[in-house]
Amino acid sequence: MIKVHNPPLNKKPSWLKVKLNTGDNFKDMKSLMSEHSLNTVCEEARCPNIYECWDSRTATVMILGDTCTRSCGFCSVKTGKPNLVDNDEPARVANLVEKLNLRHVVITSVDRDDLKGDYGARIWYETVNEIKNKVPSCTVEILTPDFRYHKPALDLVFSSKPDIFSHNMECVKRISKGVRRNSDWDRTLNVLKYAVENGMLTKTGMMVGLGEIDKEVFEAMDFAKEIGVEIFNIGQYLQPTINHLPVERYVEPAQFLKYKEYGMKIGFNVVESGPLVRSSYHADQQARLYNKNNLTF
């Protein structure tokens, strides 16, 4: 039996406390993002790992603007009518990757349901291509929206040959409608399955603390493994503001270890499981682990 805590929002367990490191690297990263007119999910989604990641000069770049057309109950990225597509953005992202001399970069985006033709797939394609042309040694991981399971859009993204294709299930199936009001859990699995069928090294992730039980967590991991997903991330949900879904439970580190043990037992190649784990947390280390284990891109 795991211990479940329901303290007030300002009473997070000790294992969720993070060190606020705003040293020179942090300030330099913030300046570089501003200089290149780029957004990061680190800032927009209020990621608790921003201080650690930026201090080590890693970040997840968010393309296609900072305004999402969906309004998920867990996410602090603003929602509304997005700006026009910025056609120069792919080149700016590649320039940033070159300037930082990155070995591995993670790209994500807001949902762009307003772009009915391809839901933003063209910019995705161009961004990956720009990076690969400018910095061939850098591996590229993409954390995408579902493109409404529009196969021509997905095909275009796949044709850019990302090294890792990531798309998150976010939560267990039973609570998905309440957590992701404008998304669909089965559609997410279809996207992941289609990526596997197209030869993508595929990754997904989810949060706990939204009202699920552990049996459902293990079942979600089973679903992902059965369709061929190879990398699985799982972390604690943290309420961004009082306007977002409340935290239903704080899961202890020991239980995250059990998630990891189960995931490795059923055959995932990499499982990142911990209270502060997020989609792209330690993504560069995961990529290097693949190479170390001869699980090549």
Domain that holds residue 34: 14-292
What is the C-alpha to C-alpha distance for residues 2 and 89, in angstroms, rounded to an integer?
46
**Does the pLDDT at position 4 exceed 80?**
no
β-strand pairing of 104-109 with 270-273? unpaired
97 CB-near residues (< 8 Å, 6+ apart): 105, 131, 134, 135, 138
pLDDT by residue (tens digit) across 61-108? 889 998 999 988 888 788 899 999 999 999 999 998 898 888 888 899
Which CATH number does the domain housing residue 43 bear?
A: 3.20.20.70
Q: Is residue 272 part of a domain?
A: yes
Q: Is residue 117 part of a domain?
A: yes
Of 271, 164, 263, residue with least CA distance to 223? 263
How much is the pLDDT for 240? 84
How much is the pLDDT for 195? 99
Radius of gyration of the chain (CA): 18
| Total count of domains within the chain | 1
How much is the pLDDT for 177? 92
The angle at the Cα of 148, spanning 179 to 69, to the nearest 5 degrees, equals: 60
What is the C-alpha to C-alpha distance for residues 166 and 146, in angstroms, rounded to an integer?
10
Tokens linked to 26: 């942090």
Alpha-helix residue ranges (DSSP H) falling in 56-172 = 89-100, 121-134, 151-158
Q: Is residue 229 part of a domain?
A: yes
Q: Is residue 107 part of a domain?
A: yes
Interval 163-189 mean pLDDT: 94
Count of other CB atoms within 10 angstroms of residue 297 = 12
Of 204, 233, 205, 223, residue with least CA distance to 266? 223
pLDDT by residue (tens digit) across 205-219? 999 999 999 999 999
**Does the pLDDT at position 117 exceed 70?**
yes
Q: Is residue 239 part of a domain?
A: yes
What is the C-alpha to C-alpha distance for residues 287 and 277, in angstroms, rounded to an integer?
16
What single-letter amino acid sits at 187? R
Q: Is residue 280 part of a domain?
A: yes
Q: Is residue 4 part of a domain?
A: no
Of 28, 46, 51, residue with least CA distance to 100? 28
Q: Is residue 2 part of a domain?
A: no
Count of other CB atoms within 10 angstroms of residue 155 = 14
Average pLDDT value for the chain: 85
